[in-house]
Structure 1
């Protein structure tokens, strides 16, 4: 992360200029942060107010139906729980959140830590979070409709049509879900583990959240769900295993469309390779 003077950083990303309303004095510098396709952010360091992360609104976030305002609403609703960065400022250019000191658990977090963090999130009071429920069909439709025709074929359309509707969901079971929880989004400091990058979070079936994390970590599904149920004091383990399994092909189709859209937007072969692997797996 190279340090860049504030004036130069504002030239590289004009959205940073919108932060002059928040900072009393000019920040010392900014640093680009490594991250995923939709999470190319800045660390901003100010001598008075401290360090923050600027999460801009871009054509990429809009293409993936990411709302910084919804992210802000979630972070404000859970800020007293001390599990996520505090939202400091929101405008039509992006979201500013507090920087969390610590180190990433990407290389060292065992999956039990991820499950414990998932259970903490799922136990939060969803009534305090003023956002609309996650709509799986609307999300995959949004991805599909943006794809150019040359990226579509009969096999892809068949997968999309087969899996574009969600499984039956118990609405009483819905809760706040992170949708991108792995060690890479956990930051450990001296006294706690913080969960970062809430841009995909929403109110949804926790089985979907579990499916996404289990697949991303390539963990054993029955064992992982059983451990989650133990953490949550849930007795109906088999029912929950079936619930997570029902989401698996849907998460793969959603991921497939995500990777194709990422390839369309960025042109990087990595995204096309991931999409091809998912497509082959689903077709087999």
Structure 2
């Protein structure tokens, strides 16, 4: 697979292919979008409000967040009419990886106002959709296995610390599964006057809605994408606005498991060259 020689611009042969398909104009300009941490993403300037070209880095293997172009294309097609995602325009394959081309969603990454995010996720989880997504983690046994798999990829002494802090609460799986976004962090929630939009649908699942709640509330993810963890008051406000007592109770019973797995993920990121996750590791340890 050929690496990009200049990641600030799409590969020229891919640009030519998009032109031949009539998706972009001959004199179009691209602007690199730096919000994502996984794939190469560019805004196509002009183009009736702008489009987005995402080129997937297929060689990247992330133990927590899947990176599936076909799943993203499927979710964009199904969820755009309901206002949850931008409109898909095209998808295809390039020697550097798969790509998707979709409308640029207006707005800025979420910074404050937890009620609106809780209500957005609640509406998403209530949808009855036919999506060919994999099953997500469901219950403490799944979370224990997933967290341990991540830890198995770590080698620093902190691995043994985390293994000693492994929760012991047993929480069964739930039959109340639904489509979950799988990565609803602040950077993937765009806020505009028209409302909120979820982007980066590359790791959805059919799973426990608590997974989305835990990822949004995660102190590490809030710190990475927003610069600070939520306050206890904001967390309580979010869970209240989600307005589903059974799911909130279940989240509380699984909270330490989610924190343990996220701490393992932060440790893995640090050991694999992303030192800004060190603060997230400490924040998740504090939750434990």
The answer to whether TM tops 0.5 is yes
Q: Which has the higher helix share?
A: 1
Shift of the 159–52 alpha-carbon distance from structure 1 to 2, 3 Å rule, reads same
1:198 pairs with 2:201: yes
1:37 — aligned with what? 37
Q: Deviation at 1:113?
A: 0.6
Query: 5+ residue gaps in structure 2?
Result: 223-229
C-alpha separation in 1, matches of 2:159 and 2:150: 15
CA distance 1:241–1:82, shift in 2 (3 Å): closer
More divergent stretch after superposition (173-182 vs 219-228): 219-228
Gaps of 5+ in 1: 1-8
Corresponding residue of 1:89: 91
Shift of residue 122, structure 1, vs aligned partner: 0.8
CA distance in 2, matches of 1:42, 1:141: 35
What is the rounded CA distance, in whole Å, between the counterparts of 1:219 and 1:244 in structure 2? 15
Aligned with 2:125 (options 122, 126, 140): 122
**Deviation by residue 1:135-158 (Cα, 9 ceiling, x = unmatched):** 3546434422332x2355422223
Closer, same or farther in 2 for the Cα pair 1:120/1:133, shift >3 Å? same
Q: Find the partner of 1:168 among 166, 169, 172.
A: 172
* Residue in 2 that maps onto 1:252: 259
RMSD of equivalent CA atoms: 3.3
- Tell me, in whole angstroms, the C-alpha distance in 1 between the residues paired with 2:43 and 2:117: 25
Query: Does the residue aligned with 1:22 lie in a helix, a strand or coil?
Result: helix
Q: Which residue of 2 aligns with 1:112?
A: 115
TM-score under structure 2 length normalisation: 0.74
Greater relative contact order (Cα < 8 A, sep 6+): 2
CA distance in 1, matches of 2:79, 2:14: 26
Rounded to whole Å, the distance in 1 between the matches of 2:4 and 2:46 is 14
Q: Deviations over 1:52-111 (max 9, x none)?
A: 23142244455543222222222223232122012331436133242424221523x411
Give the distance between the partners of 2:147 and 2:42, measured in 1 at CA: 29
Mapped to 2, the partners of 1:42 and 1:58 lie a distance apart of 17
Q: Note closer, same or farther for the CA distance 1:281–1:52 as it changes in structure 2 (3 Å cut).
A: closer
Question: What is the TM-score of this pair, normalised by structure 1?
Answer: 0.75
2: CA distance, partners of 1:169 / 1:206: 12
- Give the secondary structure class of the aligned counterpart of 2:256: helix
Find the residue that maps to 1:23 and give its secondary structure.
helix
